[in-house]
Structure 1
Amino acid sequence: MPAADRLSDVLDAAYTCLTRYGVRRTTVDDIATEAGISRSAVYLYVRNKDDAFRRLAERLHTQALDRARQAAAAGAPPGDRIRGVLAAKLRLVLDLGGDSPHTAELLDARARLFGDICRDFTADLRTLLAGQFAAAGTPDPARAADICIALVVGLEGRPDAAELFEPAVAALLTGLLPSGAARHHHPPHLRGTS
């Protein structure tokens, strides 16, 4: 099996252990057992359990950022592109939150292990959003991006976030985009495989 595939298996095993035990209680032995390999084999792919969780957080945030970039590059109206970027952020939270209360640890911007990953992800989303607002002719694109991120962060802790997303974003974009640019064709999918 190629090393990249084995690393993916180790990270998948780390995720499974995270859902059961959380970062603190998971051991390298737990990850090895879940991956079906020896403890020493785990060390061929990650330095330690912290490295495994850091790489896992990077993978999940990179996947979400890729979805956001695809939405931003789509040949759709500005409102749809912005919705897609915001949906990528919310979907990351909804996907992780649905698996276990421990998975939210991967989203904590104050966490020692992956706080920088979370902050960089948000900064990249802000840049994508500001670019979309600038292209649409919004007077203060950076502020509009900050407002949108604040909206999604506010939705993240709500059990009805998926239902509130579309009306909240529609109302927000009506005020932030030039007339007519906020309309949309297809709502983004908020739940799915990461």
Structure 2
Amino acid sequence: MTADRTSEVLDATLRCLLRYGVRRTTMDDIATETGVSRSAVYQYVRNKDDAVRRLSDRLHDQALDRARTAATAELPLAGRVYEILCAKVELATGPFAGSPHAAELIDEQARLCGDICRSFTGELATLLTEVLTGAGLPAPADTAQILLAVTVGLLSTGRTDLLRTATDAVLPAQYF
């Protein structure tokens, strides 16, 4: 199994999911989108649910990599925290802008991928806590949870443009 072909299958799965959603996407759709036969797709994924979970895993891993990079960037604390939170925002808004089916891949309540989403959020909370602890901020775990809750709230209202303002409001002024 080649990683490149698997990536092509997952890319095709994403395009199909954005268009049709999980329920309406079929293995035939994924095969057609990939440009191979349905039996060829089965060489790279076990079934549609496997393709969806692997895609969700890949998207969350990419966002987590971005967050980890931000955590070690040479920025003031507020800048690092903001960039970590941007990884969550970009996951939710990136390829999904305008698709009503995004929740099926990135919502913690989603049937197929909820556990992946919850794990991602837990890892972000841990990363934020470590960054805040390293800066000597009091109650770092609580602050991390507040920052994540604010980010989720901004995502739900479509006001992610306020993320910087929200981050600045939560963190004490000496961390800028």
TM bin, normalised by shorter chain, reads over 0.9
Gaps of 5+ in 2: none
Structure 1 vs Structure 2 CA RMSD? 1.2
Q: Tell me which residue corresponds to 1:61.
A: 60
Secondary structure of the equivalent of 1:157?
A: helix
CA distance in 2, matches of 1:117, 1:56: 11
Q: Is contact 1:108-1:118 (8 Å) kept?
A: yes
Secondary structure of the equivalent of 2:174?
A: coil
**Following TM superposition, by how much is the alpha carbon of 1:86 offset from its aligned partner in structure 2, in angstroms?**
0.7
Q: Tell me which residue corresponds to 1:42.
A: 41
Q: For each residue in 1:117-174, what CA deviation from the matched residue of structure 2 results, as whole angstroms up to 9, or x when unmatched? A: 101100100000001111111121110110000010101122332x211111111223
**Following TM superposition, by how much is the alpha carbon of 1:65 offset from its aligned partner in structure 2, in angstroms?**
0.2
Secondary structure of the equivalent of 2:64?
A: helix
Structure 1 segment 94-113 matched on structure 2, within 5 A: 94-113=93-112
**Following TM superposition, by how much is the alpha carbon of 1:99 offset from its aligned partner in structure 2, in angstroms?**
4.4
Q: Tell me which residue corresponds to 1:23.
A: 22
Secondary structure of the equivalent of 1:80?
A: helix
Gaps of 5+ in 1: 184-194
Runs of 4+, deviation exceeding 3 Å: none
Q: Is contact 1:97-1:104 (8 Å) kept?
A: no
- TM-score, with length taken from structure 1: 0.87
Q: Is contact 1:96-1:104 (8 Å) kept?
A: no
Q: Tell me which residue corresponds to 1:187.
A: none
Secondary structure of the equivalent of 1:138?
A: coil
**Following TM superposition, by how much is the alpha carbon of 1:57 offset from its aligned partner in structure 2, in angstroms?**
0.1
Q: Tell me which residue corresponds to 1:173.
A: 171
Q: Is contact 1:7-1:45 (8 Å) kept?
A: yes
Letter in 2 for 1:156: L
Q: Tell me which residue corresponds to 2:80.
A: 81
CA distance in 1, matches of 2:5, 2:51: 12
For the pair 1:154 / 2:153, whether they are aligned, the reply is: yes
Query: Aligned pairs, how many?
Result: 176
